[in-house]
Chains A and B, each alone.
Chain A
Amino acid sequence: MLLLQEAAVHATSAAAGQAGESFAAFAPWLILALPLLGFVLNGLLSITAARRALPALPPVGDPHWDAHHEPSEQEHHAHGDDAHPAAHADDHGAHGHDAHGHGPKPATHTLPSFIAPGVLIAAFAVAVVNFLRMLAAHPETAWVHEYWSWMPVNDPTGALRVGAAIQLDQLSMLMTLVITGVGSLIHVFSVGYMKEDPGYPRYMAYLNLFVFFMLTLVLGASYPLMFVGWEGVGLCSYLLIGFWFKERANADAGKKAFIVNRIGDFGFLIAMFLLFANLGTLNFAEVMERAPAQMAFGGAVVTAVCLFFFLGAAGKSAQIPLYVWLPDAMAGPTPVSALIHAATMVTAGVYLVARSATLFTMAPVASLVVALVGTATAIFAASIGLKQWDIKKILAYSTVSQLGFMFAAVGMGAYVAGVFHLMTHAFFKACLFLGSGAVIHAMHEALHHTHSDMDAQDVRNMGGLRRYLPVTFWTMGIATLAIAGVPPFAGFFSKDEITGAAWDGAHGQLPLAAGLAKVGIDGTLWFGLIWGALSIAAFMTAFYMGRMMIYTFFGQNRTGEEERKHLHEGSWTLTLPLVVLALASTFGGFLNVEREVPIVRWFDFGQGEALHRWLHPVLAGADQVAEANGIAGAAVEPSAVPIAVAILLGLGGLALAWTMLSRRALRTAAEEPAYANGVERVLYHKYYVDELYDRVVVRTVGWLSRLQAGFDRYVVDGLVDFGGKMSEWLGVALGRFQTGQVNTYAFAILIGVTLVLYAFVHT
């Protein structure tokens, strides 16, 4: 990864001279086909394993499953159930360690270790080949190839043409590299983390399927195709959050993620309908070409389209008000949290906005909404992160907060900054999550040896782990410096580009500020607010990350005497991805050093601003819109103030955490209360948002559902039942006339005949 970035910097400059050379993609369908192949193979293995296991084993996915009677499986719950570690305490007592079998594992549990990372690494290799070709050619237009026609609709009012087409341009290339690159590392990590789980092949199948859908999302050449990937990753997210579905809480977390995402998908769909109704196409290239001509700048239509797209993005990328599913999603295995809920899937919303940059440039109001919501999310989630104790929950709120930064960036029109932060965040957050996975893994194993029922994810129970997990400590430490924005680590450059954009906006130097002025809004005040809020959020970020690191790795070890002996680093599959990601977190920022900006430019060793130049063709449409409407930003006067403030805040947050916590004797979860005062209590309970949603939304929906169920049962069913009952009563009543007496019948016939005759005579 690192080499690639360096190569990017150099080769871009080398290629600058010979631009215009045609770009020929190298079998980009392979990038998609390989993970799909992995899914099919692992899926078949999973089915085989499940079938073979039928008589002897309970269904796969059972965290309580006991290898006691199955010698071909090794001990499985060294670390599997990291969402509910205490649950293990019960079944530990039932058997001794010697009861675990140590025979060879069946092929169904060994093959996925090669297939799953193998296909990913192969896909990454194909992506790299394409990347190098693109680097050499630096095409100004996107490479689009339609493999087959998917949804041809002929209609007199307008034809819908959606093909199964791949679009390879600089943005999708970058995303593909991140997904396959970081994805490969996380797959390798998963081998070490999950191989003892009875559902291992199923896990790998889901993971491969996820990568396939994620690549569909970024490589699709139209909104509907993107939506296919969008829904597919949602499905895989649901499947993997609820991977240990025997635990009710895990299954519920999966459902929560799925349902909250449906709200966002509604927005995505409406936006697509609006686009088609107004432009008659949904292919990216055509939309970006026709939009400036057929929709009014700042008009209601384009604003509505952008706001609905943002609703979709808010669902997928966990922004206010739809962020609540992401912290719960930590119920899944930790590598899943790293891959899906930190590095790739949750950034799909940022990708969507960056992909639609032309549209968002045309809708200043919608852009401002995106920026404000992103900023609010950044500071809100960061403040919750201050008082969480679960290591994964801290990282989850951190992810929500960092996604807020990205949305603030793309909302302000700083698309490159947003994508840049997306990329660096993928590095350092994946590193942090995998590091937390390694910590939990070690904690679990240690606690497992003594049958302790301590919470293996509570940072209060850790402490001093740097002596036992040195590699994890150093890699997570680097990632922490990166996320805190300490130069020269990756997060420093990307985050400062975002706060710098807000600073420029506050001085009226952003195109969006001019655009807002055009529709009669003074944006400078808003941008000032955004800058202030993001700075505070950055400070909080540094603080809670410092707090997490101090609790986890510094001070006295609090796991207990006996457990301490069993604390040790995992195998190379666990540490190698950490090291690579830490390197990427260290050097990734040099990819886009802004040469104009004070302080930052000290780090400009190469050509600088490589990412800006790399993404330029993708954002050309947005620039044209800005120019055509006379809002292209004024010459930016670089200022040292925001950079200096950001560095001070980042270091200050870490320093504050150090001074507050390092001298104090930290205590375990059993001794240390979760919160001490009112403010901490509110933060610990996440502002009671879940409770609020439960009261307002869940119960209202439940109440309405019961009302509807009652209506169905008593009114609809009642009407049907009434018909039946009426027939019955009528039958009983009329049955009385059937006496069986011939005389009576004869009399009735007589009367009838008389009446008929009477009627005949009188007409």
Chain B
Amino acid sequence: MQQIPLEQALGLSALLFAIGAFGVVIRRNAIILFMCIELMLNAVNLAFVAFSPRSGVQGQVFVFFVIAVAAAEAAVGLAIIISVFRHKESVDIKNFSLLRW
């Protein structure tokens, strides 16, 4: 069975991470921001999986942790977004700048 070369897997992972990071920096919609964060987490997962043939099963175990944490984060984050939306009728994070000097 032919393996995907490590370089390509890591390249894809880096690309996905960069897209996610870029999105977090430039987008204003809270939902999309969330999706970008998920994208970054999954880029990391991909990197873990790509390494696993060489360094054993620990990476794959980490992936489960990441998925669990991501699920928890999504649950809490979405709840916050919904409650903010109820107040402001908006999910634009420009309107969420309460904690400023």
Contact = CB atoms under 8 A, between A and B. Distances in A.
Q: Do A and B come from one complex?
A: yes
A755 B11 CA distance: 20
A740 B100 contact: yes
Contact of A738 (B25, B26, B100): B100
B21 A750 contact: yes
B96 A740 contact: yes
Nearest to A742: B93
Interface in A713-763: 735-736, 738-743, 746-747, 750
A163 B80 CA distance: 82
Contact of A740 (B21, B26, B99): B99
Interface string B72-101: 000000000000000000000110111111
B93 A743 contact: yes
Contacts of B99: 738, 740
B24 interface: yes
Contacts of A741: 93-94, 97
Contact of A742 (B21, B33, B101): B33
A739 B24 contact: no
Contacts of B96: 740, 742
Contacts of B24: 743, 746, 750
Interface residues of B, number: 15
Interface string B19-35: 00100111110000100
Interface string A582-607: 00000000000000000000000000
Nearest to B100: A740
A interface, over-half SS: helix
A750 B25 contact: yes
B101 A738 contact: yes
A39 to B, nearest CB: 67
B100 A746 contact: no
A746 B3 CA distance: 36
A741 B97 CA distance: 6
A736 B101 contact: yes
A498 B98 CA distance: 96
Contacts of B25: 743, 746-747, 750
Nearest to A739: B100
Given A736-B101, A738-B100, A743 B28 contact: yes
A238 to B, nearest CB: 60
B9 to A, nearest CB: 20
Contacts of A750: 21, 24-25
A677 to B, nearest CB: 82
A735 B26 contact: no
Interface string A157-170: 00000000000000
Nearest to B36: A746
A453 B25 CA distance: 94
A742 B94 CA distance: 8
Contacts of B94: 741
B21, B27, B96, B98 — most chain A CB neighbours (10 Å): B21
A107 B88 CA distance: 84
Interface in B17-74: 21, 24-28, 33
A739, A742, A747 — most chain B CB neighbours (10 Å): A742
B26, B98, B101 — most chain A CB neighbours (10 Å): B101
A739 B25 CA distance: 14
A738 B100 CA distance: 5
Contacts of B27: 743
24 contacts: A735-B101, A736-B101, A738-B99, A738-B100, A738-B101, A739-B97, A739-B100, A740-B96, A740-B98, A740-B99, A740-B100, A741-B93, A742-B33, A742-B93, A742-B96, A743-B24, A743-B27, A743-B28, A743-B93, A746-B24, A746-B25, A747-B25, A750-B24, A750-B25
Given A740-B97, A743-B93, 5 more contacts: A738-B100, A738-B101, A739-B97, A741-B94, A743-B28
Interface of A: 735-736, 738-743, 746-747, 750
Closest 9 A-B residue pairs measured CB to CB?
A740-B97, A740-B100, A735-B101, A738-B101, A746-B24, A747-B25, A742-B93, A746-B25, A740-B99
